[in-house]
Amino acid sequence: MAIIRPFKALRPHPHSASKVASVPYDVVNTSEARENAKDFPNSFLRITRSEIDFPDDQNPYDEKIYKHAKENLDRIKKEAPLIEEEVPSFYLYRLIMDGRSQIGITATFAVDDYDNNVILKHEKTRKEKEDDRTNHIVTTEAQTGVVFLTYKGIDAVNKVVNNVTESEAPIYDFTSSDGIQHTVWIMPQQFNELIINEIKNSKNLYIADGHHRAASASRACGVKKNRNSSHNGSEEYNYFIAVLFPAEQLKILPYYRVVKDLNGRAKEDFLNEISEKFSVEVSDEKEPTSKNKFGMYLDGIWYKLSARDSVIASNSLSNSVSEKLDVSILQNFLLNPILGIDDPRTNKRIDFVGGIRGTTELERLVNSGKFAVAFSLLPVSVNDLMNISDAGEIMPPKSTWFEPKLRDGLLTHLI
């Protein structure tokens, strides 16, 4: 049984919402964050990526960076201003991209449910990234990054959501610079009990995106608990902020791979070796349209790779759900044995490109000479994500890219 709870959001005044809201902290590097925020003194990036106020050579994980984030939060509270809700509430957050709409419930969820796998995961997390956000949460005493959860939609909940969005005026409604429309409503209190009970009785909740945010909220809870001699379990740090979207509304984009070199092989030798496991043909198709097929860009030419029957038969014998994914086939039969990418999480010769950038970005990277070869893949499905989570397995790294992205700063959870 999952716990979902209304909370008193810290949120910007409506007139400043579009200037406060920022892209998620982890989709931009420091220089990109600095560029994004340069004309916006109250951009939430000054809290989530507070190193942008320091010189380039500043260590972004220094203690003073987290203290500066707290100072910026206090300043922006006054200047934007930011409002703390008087009554705990649920919020509806709608995103519209290219005419496609998805609406989620923003709430807080129990850290215990995360720790005890009531909320299921599909990714491993990296300690250094956890350390960063844990320090950020503990120092600012705020969860500034929202976790993206999903579940199999419930008719009663969908009916309430539709009712509220059709009958209530939103508190925010603006289009961000990337063309995404962001609309937020406060849910009337009369629906709280229904939402709590329906989610409690739902089978499973899943992390779609934001594993590091959830893991860091759990670790921050442990820190706060150890420092609180009067801990009783009701404190705000026992919960983390997330938006819960019905799975049927979501769209996952592919995550492409680019590799810096051919692992010492000449082009023809590389193609010959690939052909043992994949049929290789020059093609105008830059992206695959069915499973077990891949696009490859090499030396200015696009190729279509199709896994041979022997590969498909070998893979079908595995009891692992994740091993049957195209991303696993590419890793196990090409990237690792031929290109020497043993661990894509740590190998410095591989990089990843979100599907939102398109295959033109793959061409640009290879044509620039920085990378030798690029691969396009069919996106993982939401059902794949759920099945892997249900099986207690882990997806290969960089398997899913969700669009559109939630904005940081519209709804913050103070702990």
Tens of pLDDT along 262-277? 999 999 999 999 999 9
Q: Are strands 205-209 and 147-151 parallel, antiparallel or unpaired?
A: antiparallel
pLDDT in tens, 283-305: 999 999 999 999 999 999 999 99
How open is the CA angle 58-60-66, to the nearest 5 degrees?
115
- Cβ-based neighbour number of residue 238 at 10 Å: 21
- Cβ-based neighbour number of residue 358 at 10 Å: 16
SS3 256: strand
pLDDT in tens, 230-246: 999 999 999 999 999 99
**Beta carbons of 415 and 8 less than 8 angstroms apart:** no
Cβ neighbourhood burial of 59 (10 Å; 0-12, 13-18, 19+)? exposed
SS3 320: coil
Percent of the chain with pLDDT over 90: 89
At 42 the pLDDT is: 98
How far apart are the C-alpha atoms of 305 and 279, rounded to whole Å?
6
pLDDT band at 202 (very low <50, low <70, confident <90, very high): confident
At 1 the pLDDT is: 84
Between the alpha carbon of residue 116 and those of residues 98, 110, 112, 279, 386, the distances in Å are 37, 10, 6, 44, 17
Range from 136-140, 323-327, 379-383 that averages highest in pLDDT: 136-140
Across the chain, mean pLDDT equals: 95
Percent of the chain with pLDDT over 70: 100
**Beta carbons of 176 and 18 less than 8 angstroms apart:** yes
What DSSP line would sit under 100-150, residue for residue?
Answer: EEEEEEEEEEEHHHHHTTSEE--S---HHHHHHHHHHHHHHTEE-S-EEEE
**Beta carbons of 164 and 91 less than 8 angstroms apart:** no
pLDDT at 313 over 90: no
pLDDT band at 361 (very low <50, low <70, confident <90, very high): very high
pLDDT at 189 over 90: yes
Whose tokens are 């807080």? That residue is 108
Cβ neighbourhood burial of 210 (10 Å; 0-12, 13-18, 19+)? buried
Look up residue 152 and give its two tokens. Answer: 């199999």
244 phi and psi angles, rounded to 5 deg: -105, 110
CB proximity list for 225: less than 8 A, separation 6 or greater:
231, 237, 238
Angle formed by the axes of helices 155-167 and 192-200, to 10°?
150
SS3 159: helix
pLDDT at 317 over 80: no
pLDDT at 311 over 80: yes
**Beta carbons of 25 and 145 less than 8 angstroms apart:** yes
Whose tokens are 């960063």? That residue is 132
**Beta carbons of 81 and 74 less than 8 angstroms apart:** no
How far apart are the C-alpha atoms of 232 and 386, rounded to whole Å?
33
Between the alpha carbon of residue 252 and those of residues 24, 32, 198, 354, 400, the distances in Å are 17, 24, 26, 10, 6
CB proximity list for 112: less than 8 A, separation 6 or greater:
3, 118, 238
Mean pLDDT of 370-390: 94
Cβ neighbourhood burial of 56 (10 Å; 0-12, 13-18, 19+)? exposed
At 227 the pLDDT is: 96
Q: Which domains are seen in the chain, by residue range?
A: 4-251+404-414 (no CATH), 255-378 (3.30.1760)
At 345 the pLDDT is: 85
